[in-house]
Amino acid sequence: MEYRFITIEGCIGAGKTTLTQKLAQDFNGRLILEQFEDNPFLPLFYADPVRHAFPVELYFMAERFQQLKALHSEPDIFKSFTVSDFLFQKSLIFAMNNLKDAEAKLYRNLFDIINPNLPRPDIILYLYAPVDKLLSNIRKRGRDYEKNIQPEYLQSIQQAYMDHFKYLTNARIVILDTADLDFTSSKEDYQKVISILNEKHNVGITYL
């Protein structure tokens, strides 16, 4: 692969975990997956977002920190590159969308303490998908606690990503429109993604 540390990002239901797993398996990559199912607050959050937003986001930030910190403390010399299905800034993106006032300020303070100490991906591939496709993917995977996710919430998260990327001036970000792509079933579409990740991209945002 062209890059040593690749992050695949996207809104809920974009297919980032599936793509991350395929890349790691096919190209001998070190795999870092978000452990969302371990978060005991997640089902509670979807049932009552206002009450449980802070603990769910705090738990996610702590888990993501531990996973990315291990890149320095536990190197794997047998893997040719690293690929993850989350960006650490995802913690801030979701928190600022879900938290209010004092909790948002506290969370931001904690994030700013932790963030500078973590490794940065060489490239971020964001899988941009229309909300109806996200909802279809969410229904297909059938997680009970996700069944009541509203399209407005998905739209707000996706827009929050787009807004946040504008501030990552030193990052290499590729935003790929996946409306007509199926990299899970189509070898041609999967090869297209691989080709994109093997191109030299400039720092900044590239839209494809």
pLDDT digits (tens, 9 = 90+) for 108-149: 999 999 999 899 999 999 999 999 999 999 998 878 778 888
What's the rounded mean pLDDT across residues 71-83?
84
Following DSSP, what letter does each residue of 21-62 receive, concatenated? HHHHHHTTEEEE---GGG-TTHHHHHH-HHHHHHHHHHHHHH
Provide the b/e sequence for 66-88 (b: ≥16 CB within 10 Å).
ebbeebeeeeeeeeebbbbbbbb
CATH 3.60.10.10 fits 5-207, yes or no: no
Asked if pLDDT for residue 156 goes beyond 80, the answer is yes
Which pLDDT score, from 0 to 100, does residue 188 have?
96
Percent of the chain exceeding pLDDT 70 equals 100
Q: Is the pLDDT of residue 70 over 90?
A: no
Residue ranges of the domains in the chain?
5-207
End-to-end C-alpha distance for the chain, whole angstroms: 19
Calculate the CA dihedral of residues 192, 64, 141, 15 and round it to 10 degrees: -10
Q: Return the residue matching tokens 């979701």.
A: 94
Residue 105: pLDDT band (50, 70, 90) is very high
- Read off the pLDDT of residues 11-65 as tens digits, 9 standing for 90 and up: 999 999 999 999 999 999 999 998 877 889 988 988 898 899 999 999 999 999 9
* Assessment of whether the complete model's pTM goes beyond 0.85: yes
Q: How high is the pLDDT of residue 38?
A: 81
Confidence at residue 11, expressed as pLDDT on a 0 to 100 scale: 95
